[in-house]
A and B are shown apart, each in its own frame.
Chain A
């Protein structure tokens, strides 16, 4: 049975990066290292501009993850849904690869008759319940995000509530960007419980720069600092790229 970990970066932002490397390239790099990148774009009454939207979709696409644009009020439900959906995608990718090894050629779950799919789905469900999950949350704290931060915090509490209901273990870590001194700052080291997020969080606010690319790079390297099993997800297949848009 599959014993790897599922690693995700969850980027919560409200617009376009304006400093440093191209975040889409870094997301692709993350994917090469077995880390999925999901993006949630938080908007208010106003709509996120075209450029920001394209970037959000681009990051998720090249990061092999899911993207979603939401109003701040819907954030809680979205955060847990996006995380879960991305997790299922990764698991399905793994299961599909196993199937290919058994059935040969380019068979995926969809090529099985509906009667057989049920059994495969039970395996996917089982894995979703028990697999170890590591989520690094990367929050944009540029000036325009300031008054959305209390909602973000609530959404993160809600996320840990949802994921900790699973049997499998979870590890969370929270980074914010831009940081006080650097491009990105660690707020919470790997922990199984997001409730440890302090009240400082909602008061954070910094300048107008949005160094999404460098922040993502730091986030990816933080996974590698942890001693862990070699990820089985390094060789992602194409099958779930099409779902991710």
Chain B
């Protein structure tokens, strides 16, 4: 990722520089650098008084490939939630040689983790629900986001809305993932392949949820599910969603929509259990109620257990009656004999 120390210093465009496109001759004034990634530098720039983001690279291949993704996003109906919308693609003859760039919508705001740190953990499920419905749309159109990580997610607004930036890792479903970050990568944790499928993105979503409770990112020790399970159990804010997170980590979700539904119901379960414990605490007299809730709260697992118990007690009953009958009969025979 950030190993290209060398080229970063190769070209640095200073604020105020005017960039004129070779093909479309649109003019942009560079305002400041917004960030840099594996495939280039992103600048904030001005075009006729509107602010735009300009991604520039000496590698025209990677620029072209990202433009392809953004163009196909533009074809998707509805509001542009997936990536930034694309304005222009062009080349610029600079003093550093030919550089390729594209201009896109400037998405302004803090990244996912910064937003949560500022506004509180209550936003975590809300933002993840938004993200999952966006991902569902993306997946429906045959893509996988790939390099999903908090740095690539911006919370813009108001109202706070999550948006994806940096589509460099976006891959057609069925191909090999182009770009990834180890911590959010299924392969790195030994929990699956690097083939672009829906589950790959959902794994990254689950890892981001873990990331919200561990902002420093866990370091991989044993790897695999055991380490992650342990990490989830240690944080109450993750334990709430343990089932959903584990299901996503193991690739049990077919679609982002399914994961979204489960996340929603995990939230409402949470509320219900909150209420029930409260009412149980208040009404100490109603001793029947908590017992019933316990039986109901266990879900489908406990129903089977209940049945088993019933079966077991049935056998006991049968045995008991049999013994009693035997005793009575032997007593009867004994009495008759006497």
Flag if A243 contacts B194 (CB, 8 Å): no
Across the interface, which residues of B come within 8 angstroms of A163, CB to CB? 176
Interface pairs (21), CB distance under 8 Å: A68-B3, A81-B38, A84-B178, A88-B61, A109-B60, A110-B60, A114-B67, A114-B91, A117-B60, A117-B64, A118-B64, A118-B71, A121-B65, A158-B188, A161-B194, A165-B175, A165-B176, A165-B177, A165-B187, A166-B176, A167-B175
Flag if B1 contacts A165 (CB, 8 Å): no
The verdict on A76 contacting B182 (CB below 8 Å), with A109-B60, A121-B61 known, is yes
Tell me if A's interface is mostly helix, strand, loop or mixed: helix
Among residues 53 to 79 in chain B, which have CB atoms less than 8 Å away from a CB atom of chain A? 59-61, 64-65, 67-68, 71
**Bound Cα distance from A134 to B186, whole angstroms:** 25
Across the interface, which residues of B come within 8 angstroms of A117, CB to CB? 60, 64
**B89 contacts A by Cβ under 8 Å:** yes
Min CB–CB distance B99 → chain A (angstroms): 11
**A129 contacts B by Cβ under 8 Å:** yes
**B23 contacts A by Cβ under 8 Å:** yes
**A124 contacts B by Cβ under 8 Å:** yes
Give residues in B with beta carbon < 8 Å to A: 1, 3, 23, 38, 59-61, 64-65, 67-68, 71, 89-91, 98, 100, 172, 174-178, 182, 187-188, 193-196
**Bound Cα distance from A165 to B197, whole angstroms:** 11
**Bound Cα distance from A31 to B267, whole angstroms:** 59
Across the interface, which residues of B come within 8 angstroms of A129, CB to CB? 175-176
Contact string against B for A residues 117-136, beta-carbon threshold 8 Å, 1 for contact and 0 otherwise: 11011101100010000000
Among residues 2 to 37 in chain A, which have CB atoms less than 8 Å away from a CB atom of chain B? none
**Bound Cα distance from A70 to B98, whole angstroms:** 28
**Bound Cα distance from A77 to B1, whole angstroms:** 8
Flag if B3 contacts A70 (CB, 8 Å): yes
- Which chain A residue lies CB-closest to B5? A69
**Bound Cα distance from A125 to B66, whole angstroms:** 12
**A92 contacts B by Cβ under 8 Å:** yes
Q: CB < 8 Å: which of A70, A113, A164, A243 contacts B23? A: A113
**A202 contacts B by Cβ under 8 Å:** no
**Bound Cα distance from A109 to B3, whole angstroms:** 27
Flag if B23 contacts A161 (CB, 8 Å): no
- Which chain B residue lies CB-closest to A121? B64
Contact string against B for A residues 87-98, beta-carbon threshold 8 Å, 1 for contact and 0 otherwise: 010001000000
